[in-house]
Amino acid sequence: MRPAPIILISGTEGFLADRALRLLRDTLKAEDPALEVNDLEADGYVPGELLTLASPSLFNDPRLIRVSNVEKLTDAFLTETLSYLENPADDTYLVLRHNGGVRGKKLLDAIRGGLGGGIEIVCAELKKDSDKLDFAAAEFSDAGRRVTASALRALVSAFSDDLAELASACQQLLEDSSEEITEVTVEKYYSGRVETNAFRVADTAIAGRHGEALVLLRHALASGADPVPMVAAFASKLRTMAKLSGIRGSSMQLAQQLGLAPWQVDRAKRDLQGWSDAGLGRSIEFVAETDAQVKGAGRDPVFALERMIGVISRRGEV
């Protein structure tokens, strides 16, 4: 990722696309803190919006215009953006997020052909384990940290179904581990995730599937999962839900406002369906109580976990 007048971010891997957007914004902000950031949705485009946002400001501050849902673009957006590419505004960075498909091909071809001095960042889904191993290795390499091949294999095995969770696990290890990261380190934090991970248990309980969540919990514990990270997964999910509860806006706007990635915003919005604010508050309090129980305040951590899952599966309702 590097600044350019036009940047096309294409592909189906939302996590990589979100990271590319965040990196661009942070780079431009570092160059000029006065950067103006605006968001557009190509599927709900109002004619004239792009030209209005790209028009020179009073103090000639640089502008970042982020456009989502380009794969669903309107005819007006297509026409005006093609025209804009002929003469992009100075000190303006137009980022187009296209999630895949054939719609908007004329616009994509124009950018790929060099119109407007644009570049393309391809965020394709990483399907092969070898690609995920390379991704995880790069996370540690970029941070200047050593990690063994067996640790990388263990991480990819545990988080192969979700690139965002794999990246989050790498970041957690980077923050909490000061020495070389080995398979033992990974096992300490994420034992049991190869078969059943804590976030899967949390997702199932939050969705209200009590019986299934209990089965997943018992399987995870039987596989060696530690109760403390299990509770931490629930706490992380509920905290994000609480941040999103009762507020409105596009995923990009809310992500910027709350310090989250857009994919986290989308996931939390889905998780909040069927929840009340009161139930969410009670669940968060109960998770805090369970955290104390599994850290020594109680005599039966497994019972505390099962009780917590019961409360959350009822969405905190008494």
Listed by start position, the domains of the chain span 6-122, 127-190, 195-318
Determine the topology of domain 6-122 in CATH. Answer: Rossmann fold (3.40.50)
| pLDDT at residue 49, as a whole number | 93
Pick 195-318's CATH classification: 1.20.272.10, 1.20.1370.10, 3.90.105.20, 3.30.1330.20.
1.20.272.10
Please tell me the predicted confidence (pLDDT) of residue 30: 92
Confidence of residue 31 (pLDDT cuts 50, 70, 90): very high
What is the SS3 assignment for the chain?
Answer: CCCCCEEEEECCCHHHHHHHHHHHHHHHHHHCCCCEEEEEEHHHCCCCHHHHHHCCCCCCCCEEEEEECHHHCCHHHHHHHHHHHHCCCCCEEEEEEECCCCCCHHHHHHHHCCHHHCEEEECCCCCCHHHHHHHHHHHHHHCCCCECHHHHHHHHHHCCCCHHHHHHHHHHHHHHCCCCECHHHHHHHHCCCCCCCHHHHHHHHHCCCHHHHHHHHHHHHHCCCCHHHHHHHHHHHHHHHHHHCCCCCCHHHHHHHHCCCHHHHHHHHHHCCCCCHHHHHHHHHHHHHHHHHHHHHCCCHHHHHHHHHHHHHCCCCC
Q: How many CB atoms lie within 10 A of CB 193?
A: 26
Confidence of residue 58 (pLDDT cuts 50, 70, 90): low
CATH number of 127-190: 1.10.8
Percent of the chain with pLDDT over 90: 47
Query: What was the pLDDT predicted at 317?
Result: 84
- What does the pLDDT average to over 232-236? 88
Is the model's pLDDT at 194 over the cut of 50? Answer: no
pLDDT digits (tens, 9 = 90+) for 137-146: 999 999 898 9
Calculate the average pLDDT of the chain. Answer: 88
| pLDDT score recorded for residue 192 | 52
What per-residue confidence (pLDDT) applies to 310?
95
Give the model's pLDDT for residue 45.
93
pLDDT tens digits, 151-178: 888 888 778 778 888 898 898 888 877 7
pTM of the predicted structure, to 2 decimals: 0.59
| pLDDT of 195 above 60 | no
